[in-house]
Homo-oligomer: A and B are copies of this chain.
C-alpha cells in the first residue's frame, strides 16, 4: 500500500501445479484447509454464477475513478494469472469492461478480482471472463494518476502479495500465500477425501451429533433437553 508509481516486472509465482490444483477444491474448502484464514470480505461477488478459478496473483493498486494502471498491469500478466485490483479509497466506478477483458484474456489471465466496480457484465459473461467485484457500474474512469503494479495490496480486507494463489468461486475469494500453496493443496485434498464418507453417512440419516461425537461435550457445556 505504500509505493506509488512502481511496476515490479519479475515476481515469484506460487508453484504452478498447486496453483492450478487449488481451484478444484473451491474457496470454502481451501479456506478451511488454511486454518480458516485468507478470505476476502463477503461483499465481493461474482458477476455471474458458476465460475470457479484459481491462479497466481498479479496485483494492481488503482486511484479512485482512475483505471490507468489497468493498462499497465495487462503487460505483466502471464498465462494462468488472476489480476487482483485494490483502490486507494472506497470507490464503485466501473474500472473494467469488455475491452480490457479482451486484452487480459489475450495475455492469459483467468479472471479479475477488484475491490471496486465493473461494467459490460453481459459481454464479460458471454466471453466467459469471470470477475469478482463490489459493484456493477457504468461509471467511466480517467487515466491520470499513477498507482502501482505488483506491490503487496490489501483487497477487500485481505493482504495479497504478487504471486500468491487466488481461489474464487460462488462462495467468495481466498488468498493462499505462495509459500503455503503446496501444503494447502495437500490439506485441501485430504479434507475433500474425507468429505465423501461423511456425506454418505449424513445422507443415510446419521446425525452430526453422533458422527462427530458431540453429545458428550454438549451435555458438559450444559445443554438441556426439555419436552
> Hey, which bits of chain A sit against chain B, CB under 8 A?
1-2, 4-10, 26-28, 31-32, 34-39, 41-42, 45, 48-50, 52, 63-66, 68, 70-72, 74-75, 88-94, 97-100, 102-103, 105-107, 117, 119-122, 125, 135-140, 142-146, 152, 154, 157-159, 169-172, 174, 177, 180, 195, 198-199, 202-205, 207-209, 212, 214, 218, 221-227
Given the known A-B contacts A65-B64, A154-B159, are A202 and B102 also in contact in the complex, defined by CB atoms under 8 Å? Answer: yes
Closest to A152 in B: B159
Q: A158 near B154 (CB under 8 angstroms)? A: yes
Shortest A195–chain B CB gap in Å is 7
Give CA–CA (A117, B225) in the complex, Å: 27
Shortest A103–chain B CB gap in Å is 4
Give CA–CA (A41, B158) in the complex, Å: 14
Residues of B within 8 A of A90 (CB): 41-42, 90-92
Q: Looking at the complex, which one of B10, B71, B107, B222 makes contact with A146 (CB distance below 8 Å)?
A: B222
Give CA–CA (A137, B32) in the complex, Å: 12
Residues of B within 8 A of A45 (CB): 136
- Most chain B CB within 10 A, of A7, A31, A202, is at A202
Q: B207 near A75 (CB under 8 angstroms)? A: yes
Given the known A-B contacts A102-B199, A120-B28, A207-B75, are A138 and B6 also in contact in the complex, defined by CB atoms under 8 Å? Answer: no
